[in-house]
Amino acid sequence: MKGAFKKKWNNASVMTKMLIAFIVPLVLMLVVNIYMYISINTMMERVDEIYVVNVSLNELADDLTFLQNSMKEYLESKSTSALYDYYKAEQDYRNELAGLDLSNSGTTVYALFENISNQSENYLTTAGETITAKRGRNIEKYKSSYEETVNMYSDLQSCIYALNNSQFKKNTSDYSVLLSSLRYMELITILILFFIGIVNVIVVFLMTKSMTMPLITLSQAANEVAAGNFDVEVPVTEGGDEISVVSKAFEQMLESIQRYIEQIRSSVLRESMLKEHELVMENRMKEVQLRSLQAQINPHFLFNTLNAGEQLAMMEGAEKTTEFIENMADFFRYNIKKIDNDATIAEEIALVDKYVYILNVRFTGEIHYSKDVDESVMSVRVPSMIIQPIVENAVNYGIRDIDWEGHIDLKVSQDDGNVLLSIRDNGIGMRKDQIDRILSGEAAGEVSADHSASNGVGLGNVIERLQIFTGRSDVMDIISEGEGCGTEFVIKVPKEIRPEAEDKR
Amino acid sequence: MHMEKTGDKNYSNRSYRFMIVGTVIMIVAAVVTGILFRVISKTMDSIQPEETVVYDKHYAFIAEDSESDLWAQVLAASSDQAREYGAYLEDLGTVLGRDYSAEDLLRIAVNSKVDGIIYSGGSSDKVAGLIDKAVEEGIGVVVLQNDVEASKRQCYVGLNYYELGQMYALQIKNLLNGEDMGDKSVDILVDGDMSEGASNLIVMAIEDNLRSEESDVMPEIVVTRIDVEDIFSAEERIRNIFLEKDNLPDIMLCVNSVYTRCAYQAVVDYNLVGQIQIVGYFVNDTILDAVDKQVIYSTVSVDTEEMGRSCVQALYEYNNMGYTNSYLPVRIEVVDHDKASRMIREKTDEAEG
């Protein structure tokens, strides 16, 4: 019950809460006031009633005096007006007497009142006899009767006085009790109204404060946020009123703003990184293109010429020449065609085959070339022109000037999702510092400078393109046991290129 | 970047708490006010209308205030008896609050057509006439203490004066204890309105009982009548007796409690304790103390309870049956030193216990 009411209170609107906060004390004060008004009014009515009997008894005594005086006046003057006054006074007296009800005033008072009633009856009878005797001119009779009425009148006045006095004493004591009670009630009324008023003010103040405090905190938080500080204190309101709604909305708004800022920041970062990659790639491609252009002087003229040479050789029946020229034409065509695109490993190996053939024709079969290929990875795509430059490097710097028979072994295998392309020679080998310089890219200039004997694509270029293509740095390994021990280049490319790497390409 | 939540400040709960606590305080205050108002209203119960007892008969009690102690006891007994009979006994003198004479009160009672009158006062012809008027109008009249022999009163409730005289005689004998009575004088203080017959009866009874076969010698017996009409006359009259040093009585017999107290005070004031012996009338604290101290030799105790009840019984009987005993005697007994001491002891034990 309590929980349900609390829940209802928490979910109530601010207007409802404020209304309850004002109406509840107001109703209470109203009830207390009404109760006090009724109580005090009842007491005032009783105060009014207190002396009613005294007033009636005074009137009775006055009527009796008037009656006695009227009778005396009639006896003295026998005037009609005096007689009229007498009868009127008699009637008034009887009415006044009949109107008195003292049946609830205690036995003593009631007995005395009974005495007064009976004495009045006797008195009125005697007075009537006196008047009758006067009218009948019975002088003796009315004189003696009058004497009797004088005594009776005196006794009656005494009895009325005694009754009035006893009632007055009792009423005065009642009045004192009522008056002191009224004073107490007055005091209590003032105190309770003062107390409830103070409690009311405190409750309204505290409630208003507790209701507006979240708004104040919220406005402070809003100012902070407006100033750019998101580390703000958001007031917690569990209820369902408007302030709670605003607080929660503000809190959610803050969270959203922060999330968006975070997203934008990471997006900008990514974009700048991407742009950086693109620029690097573009530079490298431009370099490759430049070198390619330098190396290919009018390639179409060269292909046409080579084709013409091939046809001439065929016509002359020189098969070896035909094959040689064909291989050479294919080699240069591949260079032209694939320089901007990636290629399959199979295409790359085919190019190496053609290159080694050409070299062996050139150097009369000095290069012993062998290959060990895992056919399942032949369709994996790699940047074009990555194996041939390495083979070219192995020929030019590895086995060209050696005294022993030069071998170049190409091996394609796979390991943990990577394709391993190994080009191994048994040439003069490389020193550690040379290997480091190549892998760190410092030797790129040296290699590319000597492009007169090559097709123009250096090792540094190969490594950079591989790194951009795969999106990782660990793309090549150079192994050499030292001078005369040969060199092995191992290219490591993933079997499947990740999306980021795709983007970079 | 993070947001802090003021977790310990749930404003909604706070306002709920304030509302509940404030409302409870105000309700408690309102309830306390209600209770206080009820308590104050309760104090007003004391001014509720007095209960009016319904009665069948209305009797008036009229006594001149010459012996307030005695009449207070008689009135209390009469009121009790009246209440038992469903009647109301009105102490007319007290109710009217003025110093009316018994005769005036009797007139008022007759004109008030009460059902019965208990009267104690003078026995003048006017009083007798008023009593006769009352009887003619069907009002029963019982006369107390001093009989109005000339009237048609229904009943007289009072002492047997001969019996009282006998008791006095016995006290005189005891006091004189064989001394020669011829040298002694006895002063009997009686109300001025006591009938001659009554006082004569007392004197006769004393003489009858003092006279013996051996001796006819009597003490001098004087009857002093105190004028009851004249206020304070009793005290002055008794003082005068003590001032006549050559004529001091040896024994004073007081047929009234007021005279007893006056005589006692005078004996002490004039240093005549032991010289003048007092035989008193009625028992109250002062008289009992004096008897105990032997300033008063003894006192005659009147059974006020019986006196009060008897007169109401007589009225009730008259109202219901049309007649009643014309005389109902009241028991009397002597309280001497020993008995007074015992009575005082009993009273002390009763008060302590």
**How does pLDDT run across A207-250, given as a tens digit for each residue?**
888 778 878 888 888 888 888 887 777 766 666 777 778 888 88
pLDDT at A450: 45
- Report the C-alpha gap between B288 and A313 in whole angstroms: 184
**How does pLDDT run across B214-232, given as a tens digit for each residue?**
677 888 999 998 876 676 7
Superfamily (CATH) of domain A342-504? Histidine kinase-like ATPase, C-terminal domain (3.30.565.10)
Beta bridge partners of A368: A407
Beta bridge partners of A342: A383
- Which residue of chain B comes nearest to A103, CA vs CA? B52
Contact B47 A166 (CB under 8 A): no
| Of the candidates B78, B89, B84, B71, the residue with the CA atom closest to the CA atom of residue B308 | B78
- In three-state secondary structure terms, B249 is coil
Do B284 and B69 touch, CB atoms closer than 8 A?
yes
Residues of A in contact with B49 (CB under 8 A): 104-106
Tokens standing for A359? 């070299």
- Residue A38 CA to its chain's centroid (Å): 52
- Report the C-alpha gap between B118 and B140 in whole angstroms: 8
- Report the C-alpha gap between A2 and B294 in whole angstroms: 85
Residues of A in contact with B61 (CB under 8 A): none
Do A181 and B43 touch, CB atoms closer than 8 A?
yes
User: How close, in Å, is residue B133 to chain A by CA atoms?
Assistant: 13
| Of the candidates A453, A460, A328, the residue with the CA atom closest to the CA atom of residue A397 | A453
Contact A10 B16 (CB under 8 A): yes
- In three-state secondary structure terms, A34 is helix
Contact A203 B22 (CB under 8 A): yes
Contact B90 A213 (CB under 8 A): no
Residues of B in contact with A39 (CB under 8 A): 37, 41
Do B205 and B160 touch, CB atoms closer than 8 A?
no
| Of the candidates A352, A349, A481, the residue with the CA atom closest to the CA atom of residue A426 | A481
Instruction: Give the single-character DSSP code of B246.
Output: G
Kindly list the domain boundaries of chain B, sorted by start residue. Answer: 57-158+305-330, 161-281
The dihedral sign for the CA sequence A289, A293, A296, A301:
positive
Do B263 and B278 touch, CB atoms closer than 8 A?
yes
Give residue A460's identity as a one-letter amino acid code. Answer: G
Contact A233 B4 (CB under 8 A): yes
Give residue A302's identity as a one-letter amino acid code. Answer: L
User: How close, in Å, is residue B39 to chain A by CA atoms?
Assistant: 10
Contact B6 A217 (CB under 8 A): yes
- In three-state secondary structure terms, B52 is coil
Contact A188 B52 (CB under 8 A): no
Residue A383, number of CB atoms within 10 A of its CB: 24
pTM recorded for the entire structure: 0.59
Optimal mutation site among B9, B11, B44, B106, interface A, most CBs of chain A within 10 A? B11
Stretches where chain B sits below pLDDT 50 are 1-8
- Which residue of chain A comes nearest to B8, CA vs CA? A236
- Report the C-alpha gap between A175 and A54 in whole angstroms: 13
Tokens standing for B1? 């970047």
Residue B107, number of CB atoms within 10 A of its CB: 22
- Report the C-alpha gap between A91 and A103 in whole angstroms: 22
Any idea which residue has 């004996």 for tokens? B267
- Cβ partners under 8 Å of residue B11, min gap 6: A210, A211, A213, A214, A235, A236, A237, A243
| Of the candidates A393, A399, A398, the residue with the CA atom closest to the CA atom of residue A491 | A393
pLDDT at B247: 84
Optimal mutation site among B31, B105, B111, B126, interface A, most CBs of chain A within 10 A? B111
User: How close, in Å, is residue A40 to chain B by CA atoms?
Assistant: 9
Contact B18 A9 (CB under 8 A): no
- Backbone φ and ψ of B233, nearest 5°: -70, -30
Contact B52 A178 (CB under 8 A): no
Residues of B in contact with A151 (CB under 8 A): 107
Do A388 and A408 touch, CB atoms closer than 8 A?
no
Residues of B in contact with A103 (CB under 8 A): 52
Residues of B in contact with A177 (CB under 8 A): 43-44, 46-47
- Report the C-alpha gap between A409 and A407 in whole angstroms: 6
Q: Smallest Cβ distance to B11: which of A109, A210, A231?
A: A210
CB pairs under 8 A between A and B: 206
- Backbone φ and ψ of B334, nearest 5°: -90, 135
Optimal mutation site among B9, B14, B15, interface A, most CBs of chain A within 10 A? B15
Stretches where chain A sits below pLDDT 50 are 445, 447-454, 456, 499-505
Contact B13 A10 (CB under 8 A): yes
pLDDT at B337: 93
| Of the candidates B131, B104, B115, the residue with the CA atom closest to the CA atom of residue A155 | B104
Helices (H), B44-100: 68-84, 92-96
Contact A28 B46 (CB under 8 A): no
Q: Answer whether CATH 3.30.1050.10 is correct for domain B161-281.
A: no
Query: Could you give the C-alpha distances from B93 to A10, A112, A158, A497, in angstroms and in order?
Result: 78, 11, 11, 136
Optimal mutation site among B27, B57, B112, interface A, most CBs of chain A within 10 A? B112
- Report the C-alpha gap between A273 and A277 in whole angstroms: 6
Residues of A in contact with B50 (CB under 8 A): 104-107, 109
- In three-state secondary structure terms, B120 is strand
- Cβ partners under 8 Å of residue B246, min gap 6: none
- Which residue of chain A comes nearest to B37, CA vs CA? A185
Contact A21 B19 (CB under 8 A): yes
Residues of A in contact with B2 (CB under 8 A): 230-231
Q: Smallest Cβ distance to A118: which of B3, B11, B112?
A: B112
Instruction: Give the single-character DSSP code of B55.
Output: -
- Report the C-alpha gap between B241 and B247 in whole angstroms: 8
**Bridge-based pairing state of the strands B298-302 and B251-254:** unpaired
Contact A28 B26 (CB under 8 A): yes
Any idea which residue has 């009690």 for tokens? B61
- Backbone φ and ψ of B326, nearest 5°: -80, -15
Tokens standing for A441? 């890219």
Cα Rg, chain A, nearest whole Å: 67
Q: Smallest Cβ distance to B41: which of A28, A39, A118?
A: A39
Contact A199 B52 (CB under 8 A): no
- Cβ partners under 8 Å of residue A89, min gap 6: A63, A66, A67, A70
pLDDT at B128: 94
Residues of A in contact with B19 (CB under 8 A): 9, 17, 20-21, 24, 203, 207
- The DSSP line for A198-266 is HHHHHHHHHHHHHHHHHHHHHHHHHHHHHTT----EEEP--S-SHHHHHHHHHHHHHHHHHHHHHHHHH
Q: Which helix (H) or strand (E) holds B87?
A: strand B87-91
Residues of A in contact with B27 (CB under 8 A): 28
Q: Smallest Cβ distance to B6: which of A116, A152, A235?
A: A235
Q: Smallest Cβ distance to A162: which of B22, B25, B97?
A: B97
- Residue B133, judged by CB atoms within 10 A of its CB (0-12, 13-18, 19+), counts as middle
Contact B52 A20 (CB under 8 A): no
Tokens standing for A146? 């009058």
- In three-state secondary structure terms, A497 is coil
Contact A104 B52 (CB under 8 A): yes
Q: Which listed CATH number (3.30.413.10, 3.40.50.2300, 2.60.40.420, 3.40.50.720) goes with B57-158+305-330?
A: 3.40.50.2300
Contact A210 B90 (CB under 8 A): no
User: How close, in Å, is residue A377 to chain B by CA atoms?
Assistant: 49
Tokens standing for B248? 């001091």
- The DSSP line for B154-187 is SEEEE--HHHHHHHHHHHHHHHHTT--GGG-EEE
User: How close, in Å, is residue B192 to chain A by CA atoms?
Assistant: 27
Tokens standing for B149? 């022999």
pLDDT at A421: 93
User: Sheet containing A418-425: which strands, arranged edge to edge?
Assistant: A367-373, A406-415, A418-425, A487-494, A476-480
Kindly list the domain boundaries of chain A, sorted by start residue. Answer: 2-215, 342-504
| Of the candidates A187, A184, A165, the residue with the CA atom closest to the CA atom of residue A176 | A184
Do A134 and A75 touch, CB atoms closer than 8 A?
yes
- Report the C-alpha gap between B211 and B201 in whole angstroms: 15
- Report the C-alpha gap between B303 and B306 in whole angstroms: 5
ipTM of the prediction = 0.77
Contact A181 B40 (CB under 8 A): yes
Residues of B in contact with A239 (CB under 8 A): 12
Tokens standing for B244? 């006549």
Do A505 and A469 touch, CB atoms closer than 8 A?
yes
User: How close, in Å, is residue B156 to chain A by CA atoms?
Assistant: 25
Instruction: Give the single-character DSSP code of B46.
Output: G
- Cβ partners under 8 Å of residue A169, min gap 6: none
Residues of B in contact with A158 (CB under 8 A): 96, 98, 100, 108
| Of the candidates A28, A204, A26, the residue with the CA atom closest to the CA atom of residue B19 | A204
Instruction: Give the single-character DSSP code of A384.
Output: S
- The DSSP line for A450-494 is TTTSS-S--HHHHHHHHHHHHTSS--EEEEE-STTS-EEEEEEEE
- Cβ partners under 8 Å of residue A389, min gap 6: A454, A455, A457, A458, A459, A461, A462
Q: Answer whether CATH 2.40.50.220 is correct for domain A2-215.
A: no
| Of the candidates A295, A351, A296, the residue with the CA atom closest to the CA atom of residue A328 | A351
pLDDT at B67: 63
